[in-house]
C-alpha cells in the first residue's frame, strides 16, 4: 500500500439529509478532515461543504476506513450529537476481515490504549498509562485462513479496532500500520463502519443508518 495520498474521485454518497443532520458513506482512502499541507487538503468535509456549506464535523473515521458518518448542519446538532458520542450513546457497528481463523464465536477485548509517540500515529496497548478501551466482537464467518468479524466498539479511541484486533493475534487485512507480511498485502484496509445509531437532535427519535462494505 502506497504512502502517497491519492484520494478516490467518487461522488458523495448521501444516505440522509434533513434540517439538522447529514449522513454519508465515506470512501476508503479519503481523509475525514484536512491533513497538514496543501497535498492533504482534499477530504470528506471539504467535499461535503461544497454542497452543504453549513456542515460541521461531529466525529472522524481513519483515512483507510470506509463507511457511515454523520455530520451536523447546525451548531445545535453538532453539540447534541457530540454529547451522544462523548457519553457513548451512539451505537457503532463495524465489519472487518482479519488474518487467521478466530477460534471463539464472540468476545470482549478490554485493553487500554495510548499513542506510540516515536511511531505516531500508531497506537499501542499500555496497561499503566493507556486510556480504557473496549471492543466487543462476533464472528460472521471463517474461511481460507481469515475471519469476517462484526465489531462493536464501546469506546472511541484512535485506531482502537485496529490495535485490538492485532492484540488478539488477528490483524485487520490490509492495515498499513499494524499488519505484516501476507496480511499487509491487500488493496485496502478491510475495515468498514457498517452502521450508526443515534438520536435525532430535533426531538430525539432514534435513527439507524447502514451501508454494506464493498469487501
List residues with catalytic annotation: 62
Q: Which of 215, 199, 193, 197 is nearest to 25 (CA)?
A: 193
Full DSSP string of 98-118: EES--SSSEEEEE--EEE-GG
| Residue whose C-alpha cell reads 479496532 in the numeric block | 161
CA-nearest of 166, 202, 179 to 81 is 202
Taking the CA atoms of 196, 62, 149 and 2 in sequence, report the sign of the dihedral they define: positive
Q: What are phi and psi of 32, to 5 degrees?
A: -75, -40
Q: Is 77 helix (H, G, I), strand (E, B) or coil?
A: helix
Cβ-based neighbour number of residue 38 at 10 Å = 8
Q: Are 96 and 165 in contact (CB under 8 A)?
A: yes
Neighbours of 41 (CB within 10 A): 13
Residues pairing with 125 in the sheet: 113
Amino acid at each position: 500500500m502506497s504512502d502517497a495520498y491519492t484520494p478516490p474521485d467518487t461522488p458523495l454518497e448521501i444516505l440522509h439529509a434533513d434540517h439538522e443532520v447529514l449522513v454519508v458513506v465515506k470512501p476508503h482512502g479519503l481523509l475525514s478532515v484536512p491533513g497538514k499541507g496543501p497535498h492533504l487538503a482534499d477530504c470528506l468535509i471539504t467535499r461535503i461543504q461544497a454542497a452543504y456549506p453549513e456542515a460541521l464535523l461531529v466525529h472522524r473515521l481513519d483515512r483507510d476506513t470506509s463507511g457511515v458518518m454523520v455530520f451536523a448542519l447546525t451548531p445545535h446538532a453538532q453539540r447534541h450529537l457530540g454529547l451522544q458520542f462523548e457519553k457513548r450513546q451512539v451505537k457503532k457497528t463495524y465489519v472487518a476481515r482479519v488474518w487467521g481463523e478466530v477460534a471463539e464465536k464472540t468476545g470482549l477485548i478490554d485493553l487500554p490504549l495510548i499513542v506510540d509517540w516515536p511511531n505516531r500515529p500508531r497506537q499501542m496497548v499500555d496497561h499503566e498509562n493507556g486510556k480504557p478501551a473496549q471492543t466487543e466482537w462476533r464472528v460472521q464467518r471463517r474461511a481460507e485462513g481469515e475471519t469476517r468479524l462484526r465489531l462493536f466498539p464501546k469506546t472511541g479511541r484512535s485506531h482502537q479496532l485496529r490495535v485490538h484486533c492485532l492484540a488478539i493475534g488477528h490483524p485487520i487485512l490490509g492495515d498499513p500500520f499494524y499488519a505484516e507480511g501476507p496480511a499487509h498485502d491487500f488493496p485496502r484496509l478491510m475495515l468498514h463502519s457498517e452502521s450508526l445509531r443515534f438520536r435525532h437532535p430535533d426531538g430525539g427519535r432514534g435513527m439507524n443508518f447502514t451501508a454494506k462494505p464493498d469487501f
